A and B are shown apart, each in its own frame.
Chain A
């Protein structure tokens, strides 16, 4: 089955810790995206990558970092610099037609 996987589903972090969220796709898509979802605020773009070894900041990149060493993988690190990291994080990839396919998401809670 083709699709996007994210792990873990739930993640708990102590203040001051960095955590890395995994995102893997086997859809052979070049473009991948990370969004943050907070209640009532829709989806906000954190980072996106159009091709391997290249990525761009989205609207709320501060406190986050990414890498794109392989076409299939686009991990997101939430650093201790992110002031309010508790949220639902969604990874997506897009086809050439622009349709976005989302993973199941990771719920991050800072304790």
Chain B
């Protein structure tokens, strides 16, 4: 079955530094989604990428979808303490199941 790998597992940054998490799928994805889960909370949808090579921005967050539609990245510029949490990528199998990566835990030191 489809596997979605996410790296790094954990990252601790100084406030103001940049952060990037990477997502790689074993198969071609129809689209990819990104979610954020605050400590003690539930995942919240951030964005969905559909097109090959697509780049989308949300304020300090930049999302990319690879040309082959098998990888994606989330980059945060100048992290803030409010960015703390776990970031998950998730890819739809060509069917009805969303497969989640294991997530990257981001800690921000002020």
* Chain B residues near A (Cβ < 8 Å): 1, 6, 9, 31, 33, 35, 41-45, 48, 88, 90, 92, 96-103
Contacts and interface: CB of A to CB of B under 8 A. Distances in A.
Contacts, number: 52
Q: Interface extent on A, as a size class?
A: 20 to 34
A104 interface: yes
Interface in A23-63: 31, 33, 35, 40-45, 48, 50, 56, 58-59
* Interface-central residue, B9, B42, B43, B102, by most chain A CB under 10 Å: B42
B42 A45 contact: no
Contacts of B96: 31, 48, 50, 56
Interface of A: 31, 33, 35, 40-45, 48, 50, 56, 58-59, 90, 94, 97-105
Contact of B45 (A43, A50, A100): A100
A104 to B, nearest CB: 6
Contacts of A50: 96
A98 B9 contact: no
A31 B35 CA distance: 18
A97 B44 contact: no
Contact of B88 (A33, A43, A45): A43
B102 A48 contact: no
B97 A43 contact: no
B44 A43 contact: no
Nearest to A50: B96
A102 B98 contact: no
Contact of B33 (A48, A56, A99, A105): A99
Contacts of A104: 41-42
Contacts of A98: 31, 33, 48, 92, 98
A90 B48 contact: no
B98 A100 contact: yes
23 contacts: A42-B101, A42-B102, A42-B103, A43-B88, A43-B90, A45-B98, A48-B96, A48-B97, A58-B97, A90-B43, A94-B98, A97-B48, A98-B31, A98-B33, A98-B92, A99-B45, A99-B48, A100-B33, A100-B35, A100-B98, A101-B45, A104-B41, A104-B42
